[in-house]
Structures are given as structure tokens and as C-alpha cells.
Amino acid sequence: MAFSLSLENKERSNETKLHFAMSPSTLTFLAFLPILSAAVMLVAFRMPAKKAMPIAFALTAIVAFFGWNISPTYMLASSIQGLFITVDILYIIFGAIVLLNLLKYSRALTAIKQSFVDISEDRRIQVILIVWLFGSFIEGAAGFGTPAVVVAPLLVGLGFPTFCAVMLGMLVQSTAVTFGAVGTPILVGMTGGIQSPELSADLIRSGISLSDFIQIITNKVVIMHGIAGTLMPTIMACMMTRFFGKNKSWREGLEVLPFTLFGGLAFTIPYALTGMLLGPEFPSLLGSLVGISLVVFAAKRGFLLPKRTWNFDDESNWPTSWYGTLKVNLENEPTDKKMSLGKAWTPYVLLASLLVLTRLSQLPIKNWLVGMKIEWLEIAGTSISAASSPFYLPGTILLVVGLITIVLHKMNLKHVRLAFSESASMVVRAGFVLAFTIPMVRIYINSGVNPSELSGMPIAMAEWISIGVGTIYPLFTAAVGALGAFIAGSNTVSNLMFGLFQFGVAVKLTLPSSVVLALQAVGAAAGNMIAIHNIVAASATVGFLGNEGMILRKTIFPTLYYLIMVGVIGLIMINVVS
């Protein structure tokens, strides 16, 4: 290490000259190379993530070293920081799988499945209830990619193909994400990302406070999401019938269009009103609660339901590529040991309640849990630090609910042991993939601190886009936010990473900064549908690792729809409404 640092100091002047001689296009290509390589390996060559991501990590390290002059020590510190995050994600995955397996062995899943059948046997209606509405509620309460790791195994337990369950679990990480974890992407990500002397001066000239500005951004975000998100239940139903139906039909998804539109509006209207009237903490929470109430009430009374019930083909006809290793056999159970619906649903009610209670800043619980942290400051003598608050993570809430379930459902020790052992074995494979994926992400994000004083790798890509498109930049603004989420797997991190950059571009192009920042926040939400480590996490909960490219090939199209739709809305807001 001493030799490498000495060599770095000796040749720094030559390297710095080389860096400054690089064109923006060259820097953009270098920054994009590891991401492009990962996408090609996963999608084009159908390489499993356990092989693709170590290669992508190595490429990122090479580009960071030779292109940005980042030392091995700094990359090591970034990787350690990434491993902290990896452990957090694995903890959440483990908690989600444990809860599902406990519900399986306690026979609660059988009662839950029957409750959805009693509302409607139509799988398209079940998708609106479970994925779109219940998933959005979990997102509003917890964030952290929790909806996919809760929804995907629940769908498998209800008889959905594993491939379909993971795809749908990723699609719910869209409209609700901007206000996930009780508004964290806006309150922490956007607020922290844009605070600067330039913004302060602009706010003083405009005569408004920072909180007023955040509310203006929120107002525009809920309008964009409200329009684009209303069609998401329809897209979910159509993708399910087209790719997983016996007839491979888009039309069978559109048959339920009146109800999917109703389901979309049942969420997005209260969502938008909550954002405008109450601020960024509660749109996803209240929107989903109102939506669940309306949709269940309507479905039980047959309101707007199609005449024909849709279901998957017989399981014996499913391709092997649809299966994962998670087995949830709800058949052949003793008929004399049925569970009441209230007792079966109690764990999920507890989960939702505890997630909300531990995330509300108005209560002392959040600060207490966040304060109990494990941290490593200034790793390897660098400015990089890592920390984890394990008691605040959704994984702890999931495990606490699991322990309550053991007592509540009077489970025997044998089934409890099976639930935990099966869950642990499924997490191990995900750990290997994430141990390369998340450190790669942290090298990207931390690359802005470098001896050559170059913009960080994500910013270099964003700058190239903004220069290339000019005045029609609002059409591409959301894509920049999605790029950040694709890299980091987080709306919050994308806003922190690109918020000030987006504000600077808006000022330079004389565009309304509130619209540009709203597009950033919405795009960062949509980007979660294609974030690699979110796909890995969701796949791990149902034993579908190794098929990440298959998921990405499906989720890219809804992501493109979302980005194009909100880009057009942004242009209209700037050129017509403003």
C-alpha cells in the first residue's frame, strides 16, 4: 500500500493532465462502461448476477483508478461502506422470508389466500389489492425496497408463478416510492441534496422558505405521479396476462380496464390530495389505506368487475423458468386445523402498524431506534464512514412480528426451526451477489472526491445528458433521476446525488427549478423498478436468484413508460402551464 501511494504521488501531475485532457464524452463513456457491461451481461447474454456483478465491480474499480485517479485505499473504504449496506439489505430479506415461512407453517397463509378468493378469484383483481395497494402501503411505511421482499413471497404463497411474483413486486416500486418511509426521499434526499448557498440566495430573491419550496416540489410530484401512476395497475394486469397467461394475451389484461382504472384512481386521488394538503410524509400511506377500503368494498359488490374470471393455467403446464426454490405448499393440510381470518391477518396488521409507529418523526421511538447504531468512522483513514441502525431497519420489525406470530399462532418448535433454517439458506446466495453490487454502487457515489477534481461518475453522465439535449432537457430530467436509482437502488440517494446538479441545470437553462426537481424525484422513483440490487433482493426472497436479466427485461418497459410520460408532463408544465 505504501508503494502504491508513493507511486500515486509521484505520477499525480501526469495523471491530472491526462484527466483534464479527457473530453466530457470520454468521461461519460468510462463512467457508463461498467453499467452498460452489467446490463449486456444480464440481459443480452442472460448471465446470472452472481457472475455479472463481480465483473462489473472489477470494471468499476479499474475505471475509478485510471479514469478518476481514485486510490485503492479509497475504493476499499467505499467497499466496506457498501458491505454495511449489504448486511442491512440481507437482514431485511431474512426477516421477510422468516415471516412468510412462519405464516406458511402456522397455516395462516391458507386463510389469507381464502380471504382473497372470497373477495375475488380473479388474479387481476388480486394484483390490484396485494401489489398495487398493500405494496404501496408497505412502501409508504418502510421504504428500503421492503414492498418487493414482502409482496413477492406472499404472491408465491397465494399460487402466483415465482417469475411473475418478482416482476410484480418490482413494479410496485414506482408511484409510492417518492414518499416512501414516511416521506424520506423528499424530506431527507431532496432537502439534503439541494441545500446550498445558490439555493438560499434564490429562495431569498423569491421570498419563500426552504419548507415552502419543498412543498411546491411535492405539489408537482403528486400531479406527475397521479397521472402516470393511475395506469400502473392496468400495466401490471396486462403484463401478467401477456407473459404468464395461457393465451399470452394483452387483451385479457385490458378486459379488466374499468376496474384497474378505478383501482389506480382510488390510490392516486387521495395520494395527490394528501401531498398537497399535508405534505410529503403521508401521501403513500393514506392513499393506499383509502384505496384498499374503496377497492375491497367495490370488489365485494362486483362493481366494474369483468364477467369472466381470469386465472393462470394449470401449474403442471408452467415452464420451468417460472419456478423458484421457495416452496409454499398450501394443499393437503389437515382440515380440522383451520385458522380464523382475523388471526391470520394479524401479523401483517402488526407489521404495518409497527412500521408506521417507528417511522413517525413526531414520536420518540424513531430517534431512539436510529440512535442505537453500529458505525465505523473514517474507514482506513479516509473521509468515508459507514453506519447501521439495526433496530430501525424493517428487518427487525419483521422478526419481531415473526416472534409474536409464533406465540399468537401457537406454533410448535419443529415448524419454527424449519422456518428459520429454510430462510437462512435462501439468504446466503443473495449475500454473494450483493457483496459485489453494493460496493460497486458506493465507488460510483463516492467518486466525486478525487485528486483530479473531476465530477463524480454519476454526475459526469448527467452533465453529458444535459449538455447534449439543451432546452428539451425536461424530457430527460426524470431519466437522470432514474439513472441514480438504477445505480444506488434508492430514491433518497438519487435525490442526494443529483438534486443540486438538477437545480444548477434548471438555473442555467432558465427553467422552473421546482418542475425540474419534481421530475428528478419522480424519475428516481421509477428507476427503482430496474435497480439491480432491488431485483436481487426481491429474487432472493423467493429463491429466484440467477434470473435477474429475465426480470430486468420485463421491468424496463414500465420504467420507460413512466419516464416518457412524466417527461411529457414536465414539458407541458413548463411550456403551457407556467
What SS3 class is residue 116? helix
Residue 435 belongs to domain spanning: 24-319+342-577
Gap between the Cα atoms of 387 and 515, Å rounded: 33
Instruction: Please report, rounded to a whole number, the percentage of residues in the chain having pLDDT higher than 70.
Output: 94
Amino acid of residue 223: I
SS3 at position 393: coil
How far apart CA 527 and CA 500 sit, in angstroms, is 19
10 has a pLDDT exceeding 60? no
327 domain-assigned = no
The residue with cell 372470497 is 118
Is residue 332 one of the residues assigned to a domain?
A: no
Provide mean pLDDT across the span 348-359: 88
- Please give, one letter per residue, the 3-state secondary structure of 121-148: CCHHHHHHHHHHHHHHHHHHHHCCCHHH
Whether the pLDDT of residue 7 is over 50: the answer is no
- Residues 261, 241 contacting (CB under 8 angstroms): no
Helices (H) and strands (E) in the chain, counts: 27, 2
Kindly report each contact of residues 478-481 with a partner whose C-beta sits within 8 Å and lies 24 or more positions away, as own/partner.
478/519, 478/520, 478/522, 478/523, 478/526, 478/562, 478/563, 478/566, 478/567, 478/570, 479/523, 479/563, 479/567, 480/520, 480/523, 481/519, 481/520, 481/521, 481/522, 481/523, 481/524, 481/525, 481/526, 481/527
Distance CA 169, CA 187 (A): 25
The residue among 176, 190, 191, 124 whose CA lies nearest residue 145 is 176
Q: Cα(534)–Cα(519) distance, rounded to whole angstroms?
A: 22
**pLDDT at 132 exceeding the cut of 90:** yes
For residues 229 and 63, what is the distance between their CA atoms, to the nearest angstrom?
37
The Cα–Cα gap between 417 and 433 comes to 26
Instruction: Using DSSP bridges, classify how beta strands 386-388 and 374-376 pair: parallel, antiparallel or unpaired.
Output: antiparallel
Rounded to 5°, the CA angle 38-47-79 comes to 45
Instruction: Assign 329 a pLDDT band (cuts: 50, 70, 90).
Output: low
Number of domains the chain contains: 1
The Cα–Cα gap between 392 and 478 comes to 30
Q: How is residue 381 written as a grid cell?
A: 483513514
What local confidence, expressed as pLDDT, does residue 179 receive? 95
pLDDT higher than 60, residue 546: yes
- Specify if 63 maps to a domain: yes
Residues 155, 145, 91, CA angle at the centre, nearest 5°?
Answer: 95
For residue 297, the tally of other CB atoms under 10 A from its CB is 11
Q: Which range, 228-232, 280-284, 336-340, has the best average confidence (pLDDT)?
A: 228-232
Bridge partners (DSSP) of residue 376 are 386
Quote the mean pLDDT of the chain: 90
Residues 6+ apart with CB under 8 A from 135: 147, 148, 150, 151, 169, 172, 176
Q: Note whether 126 and 209 are within 8 A (CB).
A: no
* Range with the largest mean pLDDT of 26-35, 192-201, 224-233, 329-338: 224-233
In this prediction, residue 110 carries a pLDDT of 85
Instruction: Render pLDDT for 158-193 as a digit per residue (tens, 0 to 9).
Output: 899 999 999 999 999 999 999 998 899 999 899 989
Question: What pLDDT score was predicted for residue 335?
Answer: 44
Q: pLDDT digits over 11-47, tens only?
A: 444 444 444 457 778 889 999 999 999 989 998 898 9
pLDDT tens figures, 465-501:
888 887 789 999 999 999 999 988 899 999 999 999 9
Residue 1 lies in a domain: no
Q: Which three cell numbers stand for residue 394?
A: 424493517
**Beta-carbon contacts of residue 495 (< 8 Å; ≥ 6 apart):** 185, 186, 189, 190, 192, 193, 481, 484, 520, 521, 524
524's grid cell: 428516481
62-80 average pLDDT score = 95
Percent residues over pLDDT 90 in the chain: 69
Q: Confirm whether 14 is domain-assigned.
A: no
Is position 448 within any domain? yes
The residues with which 387 forms a beta bridge, in sequence order, are: 375
Q: Helix 548-572 vs helix 210-229: angle between axes, to the nearest 10 degrees?
A: 120
In this structure, what DSSP letter does residue 386 have? Answer: E
pLDDT at 2: 39
**DSSP, residue by residue, 182-234:** HHHIIIIIIHHHH-SHHHHHHHHHHT--HHHHHHHHHHHHHHHHHHHHTTHHH
Q: Is residue 16 included in any domain, yes or no?
A: no
Write down the pLDDT at residue 21.
Answer: 56
Give the per-residue pLDDT at 17: 41
- Tell me the C-alpha distance between 270 and 222, whole Å: 10
Question: Which one, of 408, 380, 488, lies nearest residue 444 by Cα?
Answer: 488
556-559: which pairs have CB atoms within 8 A and are 24 or more residues apart? 556/530, 558/171, 558/174, 558/232, 558/235, 558/239, 558/529, 559/482, 559/526, 559/527, 559/529, 559/530
The whole-angstrom separation of Cα 325 and Cα 133 is 27
Cα distance between residue 93 and residue 78, in whole Å: 23
pLDDT interval class at 577 (50, 70, 90)? confident
